Amino acid sequence: MAEQRVIFALFPGCETLDVAGPLQTFYEANRCGAHYRIVVAGTSRDVGTAQTLGFSRLTALPSVGEGDLVVAPGFDVRQSKPPRELRTWLRRSAASGADFCGVCTGAFAFGEAAMLDGRRCTTHWKRIGELARRFPRARVVDDTLFVTDGPITTSAGAASGIDIALWYVERHYGPLVAARTAREMVVHTRREGSHAQQSFYLNYRAHLNSAVHRVQDFIIGHPSEKVRLPDLAKLAGMSARSMTRAFRLSTGVSIAEYRQHMRLENAKMLLRQPGVTIDRIAAQVGFEDPRQLRRLWRQRFGAPPSKAKARK
CATH H-level, domain 258-310: superfamily: Homeodomain-like (1.10.10.60)
Specify the higher pLDDT residue, 307 or 218. 218
Average pLDDT for residues 137-163, to the nearest whole number?
Answer: 87
Supply the pTM of this predicted model.
0.66
Domain map (residue ranges) of the chain = 4-170, 258-310
Average pLDDT for residues 154-166, to the nearest whole number?
Answer: 84
Distance CA 61, CA 53 (A): 20
Nearest to 38 by CA among 82, 74, 70: 70
Percent of the chain surpassing pLDDT 70: 90
Has residue 188 got a pLDDT over 80?
A: no
Average pLDDT for residues 246-251, to the nearest whole number?
Answer: 92
Specify the higher pLDDT residue, 294 or 176. 294
Do the domains at 4-170 and 258-310 have one common CATH topology? Answer: no
Has residue 76 got a pLDDT over 50?
A: yes
Specify the higher pLDDT residue, 91 or 277. 91
pLDDT at 192: 39
CATH H-level, domain 4-170: superfamily: Class I glutamine amidotransferase (GATase) domain (3.40.50.880)
Q: How many CB atoms lie within 10 A of CB 222?
A: 12
pLDDT at 219: 84
Q: Band the pLDDT of 158: cuts 50, 70, 90.
A: low
Distance CA 257, CA 246 (A): 14
Percent of the chain surpassing pLDDT 90: 53
Average pLDDT for residues 137-160, to the nearest whole number?
Answer: 87
pLDDT at 277: 86
Specify the higher pLDDT residue, 5 or 185. 5
Model confidence over 93-141: pLDDT tens digits?
999 999 999 999 999 999 999 999 999 999 998 899 999 999 999 999 9
Task: Collect all residues with Cβ–Cβ distance below 8 Å to 290 and sequence separation of at least 6.
Answer: 278, 279, 282
